[in-house]
Amino acid sequence: MNPPIIFALSILFLPLVSFIFQIFIGWRIGRSAHWVSLICLGGVLALSLSFFANAFLIEGYPILEESVTWFSTGEFTIAMGFNIDRVAAIMLVVVSLISFLVHVYSTEYLKGDPRYNRYFGYLGLFTFSMNGIVLADNLVMMYVFWELVGLSSYLLIGFWFEKPSAADAGKKAFLTNRVGDIGMFIGIMILFFLFGTVNIEDIAYEVSLGMADGYMSLLTAAGILVFMGAVGKSAQFPLHIWLPDAMEGPTPVSALIHAATMVAAGVYMVVRIFAFLTPTALQFIAVVGAVTALMAAIIAITQNDIKRVLAYSTVSQLGYMIMALGVGAYQAGFFHLTTHAMFKACLFLASGSVIHAMHHALHHKGDHDTDPQDMRNMGGLKSKLPVTYWTMLIATLALSGVPLFSGFLSKDAILAGTLAYYHAHHGWTIFLPIAGFGAAVITAFYMFRLIFMTFHGEPAKPDVHAHVHENPLPMTAPLVVLAFLSIAIVFTLPGLNPIVNHGWFTHLVTTGENYAGLVMEETVEGIHHAHNAAMTISLIVATLGILFATFVYYLKKVDAGKLAKMMNRVGLYNLSFNKFYIDEIYEAVLYKPFFWWCNVFSKIDWDYYDQKFIDGWGWVTMKISEASGYSDYNWLDQKVVDGFGKLTQYFSKELKQTQSGVIQNYVMGGVFGLLIILIIFQSI
């Protein structure tokens, strides 16, 4: 085995070592066992960086491509393999960097938790599974790790499983994801029988050779079905419902899994299979992304739980990425994944820092009723949590698409993509840029609402506020690192112009290739033309959003309550606050009828089919045998058989009379008898 394979295997398995260690040994050692996890993850980060460095050195070819048979029946073979291209190399760094930082952060955040070691074990299991998705060269292997990240997500959401809400959220996450996974699985089966392989590159190659010509509608179906997996994992409408609930997990988990990496797996998967998605499938993907981006942004406006705002923001941003890929802005979609991972992880960890500080302050006061996550209980925390404030502000600027910060570059590219798409297709596709820009203005608004409500103004609870303290270094250091990585220059190097995205990233990640009918040259050309318009509009909308938030929540020129009431005249506020009632609709339309029917089926199966029909046969048999038993005894035995006996008895009783004991009678009988015999013989 050459070093790259050993490196790749180590990237995959070191986190698993951490998992096994913490589960079987770590808990005996206690808190200090987290060093093992930290060293494992540090190793993974270093090795990922080595692949990343290699991406600059090797032109054109995958850095590592290696595949072995996993199992085979002869004709039917499933392989397992690695395919590290430049996209995968970047993704590896994203995953391992954030995972490492979250490990560091968690040593403080989870301090004192009775299941401390188990937590680090689960984080290891997650990183293992996530890296498996990144490294996978075929769809079955991706599906395998896809489900395993589902498992680790389930375990981590439900980490504090004593809380009923956390226990429910884990279950909901797993099951909702499985809905998407069914589609993904069917899609994989279609691709397997269409091309005889599940290897992603091989499928793309076959499509490029025209092997799918004549099966385009099937390829479209397969693409949309595989994308279903991403709808689940990346929390796209209509399967987005699990992600906000997933915030029941520890906040570092939300940062790692439910903001930066796992939920981006769906986007990553679409990036991997982009080459063989047909234009129809891509259009479907774009619409799903646009609906998600806009809808989730609207919901985020009215949420008061700091993590929920961020959760809906994540859903919305994932919608952006998906929409980008759908409109053919391949590079922009993956770019946004990368930048978003940094600033959203930063935002979540910062919110965790706020919650942690609030929690300690409340704990200090002995207050167990106040919700430490509710922004209405915060305010004025800027002076108390300076590091948290400044890092969170940087990340917010990045998310809002303010120039000089990374989000500006990536969001801008996506919006250019939607504009270009509209230029090419016209008609209803104007919905895509509207959704994009609409979500952008809303994003800027709700993020600054969050900043102002949390950090500015008067403290809502001055007594709590007094006890809030900035968190120690293990928690603030990751924030600083991630805030730094939210600055535009980081991604434009060696270019130093922070508003022009020409740097190492665009050098590494191409504009993408598509063999299924999308003409990439035209798409790229269109995006290029739309660039300036997109930048101008996005600057305007970001400014508008921020200004409006400043008016309402900082300067308080407009009363937020009145505004809400005004919006509610047409039900808008309640619609947003209640998340478009989607959970309620599912409850009424899907869950309740489903369980009701299950109970009906069970009744049919047991109470009717078995107890009545099957046991009915027993009853019939019993009745028949009773009847036959009755007739056997009462008729055949009692009447017929015993009848003979009775007859005999009767005659013997009658004939007994003849036994008189008088000799003359006997002699007379004998004579008579003799006479009769003689007569009979005579007549013969």
Partner 1 sequence: MSSHILSWLVFIPIIGALVSIVYQQAAKVKGLDAEVVAGTHKWIAAVATGIQLLFAVWLYTMYDPAGGIQFQEKFSWIPQFNIDYFLGADGLSMPMILLTALLSFIGVVSSWKIKKSPFGYFAMFLLLDTGMMGVFVSLDFFLFYIFWEVMLLPMYFLIGIWGGPQRQYAAIKFFLYTLFGSVFMLLAMLGLYFYADPHTFNLIALIQSASSIDATIWGINVQVLIWVALFIGFAIKVPIVPFHTWLPLAHVEAPTAISVILAGVLLKMGTYGLLRINYPLFPELVYWFATFLAVLGVINIIWGALNAIAQVDLKKMVAYSSVSHMGYVLLGMAALISESPAGAQAGINGALMQMFNHGTITAMLFLLVGVLYDQAHHRYIFYPKDYHDPKLAGQPGFGGLGAKLPIYSAFVAFAFFAGLGLPALSGFISEVMCFIGGFSVFRTLTIIGTLGILLNAIYFLRAYRYVFMGPLNEKYAGLKDMTGREMFTLIPLGILVLLFGVYPAPLLDMIAPTMNALVDLIHSAGSIMGIQ
Contacts with partner 1 by CB under 8 A lie at: 71-77, 140, 143-145, 147-148, 151, 154, 158, 161-164, 166-168, 170-171, 174-175, 178-179, 181-182, 185-186, 189, 192-193, 196, 595, 597-599, 601-602, 605-606, 609-610, 614, 618
Q: Which of 178, 121, 168 shows the shortest CA–CA distance to 147?
A: 178
User: Please, what is the minimum distance in Å from the beta carbon of residue 135 to partner 1?
Assistant: 15
Handedness of CA 575, 576, 577, 581 (dihedral sign): positive
User: Please, what is the minimum distance in Å from the beta carbon of residue 215 to partner 1?
Assistant: 14
Tokens 């007379």 correspond to: 668
Joined together, the tokens standing for residue 493 give 């190097």
- The residue (of 78 and 434) whose beta carbon lies closer to partner 1 is 78
User: Please, what is the minimum distance in Å from the beta carbon of residue 25 to partner 1?
Assistant: 15
Residue 170 in contact with residue 150, Cβ under 8 Å? no
CA atoms lying within 13 Å on the CB side of residue 223: 33
Alpha-helix residue ranges (DSSP H) falling in 510-634: 520-549, 560-568, 572-577, 582-586, 592-602, 615-630
- Tell me which amino acid residue 510 is: T
- The residue (of 181 and 206) whose beta carbon lies closer to partner 1 is 181
- The residue (of 532 and 602) whose beta carbon lies closer to partner 1 is 602
**CA distances in angstroms from 8 to 44, 81, 82, 456, listed in the order given:** 9, 10, 8, 46
User: Please, what is the minimum distance in Å from the beta carbon of residue 308 to partner 1?
Assistant: 22
- The residue (of 216 and 424) whose beta carbon lies closer to partner 1 is 216
Joined together, the tokens standing for residue 93 give 């760094």
User: Please, what is the minimum distance in Å from the beta carbon of residue 162 to partner 1?
Assistant: 5
- The residue (of 98 and 198) whose beta carbon lies closer to partner 1 is 198
Could you count the other beta carbons within 10 Å of the beta carbon of residue 377?
A: 21
- The residue (of 178 and 423) whose beta carbon lies closer to partner 1 is 178
Which residues, in sequence order, are bridge partners of residue 219? none
User: Please, what is the minimum distance in Å from the beta carbon of residue 158 to partner 1?
Assistant: 6
CA–CA separation, 535 and 333 (whole Å): 16
- The residue (of 222 and 381) whose beta carbon lies closer to partner 1 is 222
Could you count the other beta carbons within 10 Å of the beta carbon of residue 467?
A: 17
- The residue (of 232 and 372) whose beta carbon lies closer to partner 1 is 232
- The residue (of 58 and 589) whose beta carbon lies closer to partner 1 is 589
- The residue (of 135 and 350) whose beta carbon lies closer to partner 1 is 135
Joined together, the tokens standing for residue 562 give 């009145």
User: Please, what is the minimum distance in Å from the beta carbon of residue 192 to partner 1?
Assistant: 7
User: Please, what is the minimum distance in Å from the beta carbon of residue 238 to partner 1?
Assistant: 15
CA–CA separation, 287 and 666 (whole Å): 122
Count how many residues are written for the chain.
684
Residues near 373 by beta carbon (within 8 Å), at least 6 away in sequence: 305, 306, 307, 355, 358
Peptide bond into 593 cis (omega under 30): no
- The residue (of 76 and 681) whose beta carbon lies closer to partner 1 is 76
User: Please, what is the minimum distance in Å from the beta carbon of residue 157 to partner 1?
Assistant: 11
- Tell me which amino acid residue 550 is: T
Q: 139-157 and 262-273 are packed helices; what angle lies between their axes, rounded to 10 degrees?
A: 170
Q: Please provide residue 71's backbone torsions phi and psi, each rounded to the nearest 5 degrees.
A: -155, 155
User: Please, what is the minimum distance in Å from the beta carbon of residue 401 to partner 1?
Assistant: 38
Joined together, the tokens standing for residue 444 give 């800027």
User: Please, what is the minimum distance in Å from the beta carbon of residue 367 to partner 1?
Assistant: 21
Which residues, in sequence order, are bridge partners of residue 323? none
- The residue (of 216 and 477) whose beta carbon lies closer to partner 1 is 216
The helix (run of H) or strand (run of E) holding residue 679 is helix 663-683
User: Please, what is the minimum distance in Å from the beta carbon of residue 241 to partner 1?
Assistant: 15
CA–CA separation, 484 and 628 (whole Å): 93
Residue 333 in contact with residue 267, Cβ under 8 Å? yes
